[in-house]
Amino acid sequence: MSDVPESHPRYQSLKLRDDITAGVESGITSIHGLIAHGRGEAFDYLIGEATQQFAAQAIHTSAAMLLLAEYPVVSVNGNAAALVPDELIALGKLLKAPLEVNLFHTSKGREETIQEYLLNRGAVQVLIPSSDIRLSFIDSNRKYVHTDGIFRADVVFVPLEDGDRCEALRKMGKDVISVDLNPMSRTASRSSATIVDNVVRALPLLIREIRELADASPLTLQRIVSKYSNEKVLETALQWIRRA
Summarize as ranges the residues that interact with ligand PTJ (CB under 6 A). Answer: 30, 32-33, 36-37, 39-40, 43, 77-79, 83, 103-105, 160-162, 179-182, 185, 198-199
Tell me the closest approach of the beta carbon of residue 173 to ligand PTJ, in angstroms.
23
Three-state DSSP at 5 gives coil
Tell me the closest approach of the beta carbon of residue 148 to ligand PTJ, in angstroms.
20
Nearer to ligand PTJ, 67 or 80 (CB): 80
Angle between helices 85-95 and 199-213 (to 10 degrees): 20
Q: How far is CA 134 from CA 99, 102, 144, 152, 153, in A?
A: 17, 12, 5, 11, 13
Nearer to ligand PTJ, 187 or 236 (CB): 187
Residues recorded for the chain: 244
The residue sitting closest to ligand PTJ, measured at its beta carbon, is: 40
Tell me the closest approach of the beta carbon of residue 140 to ligand PTJ, in angstroms.
9
Tell me the closest approach of the beta carbon of residue 160 to ligand PTJ, in angstroms.
3
Nearer to ligand PTJ, 180 or 221 (CB): 180
Nearer to ligand PTJ, 57 or 77 (CB): 77
Hey, what long-range contacts does 9-13 have (CB within 8 A, 24 or more apart)? 12/49, 13/41, 13/44, 13/49
Three-state DSSP at 176 gives strand
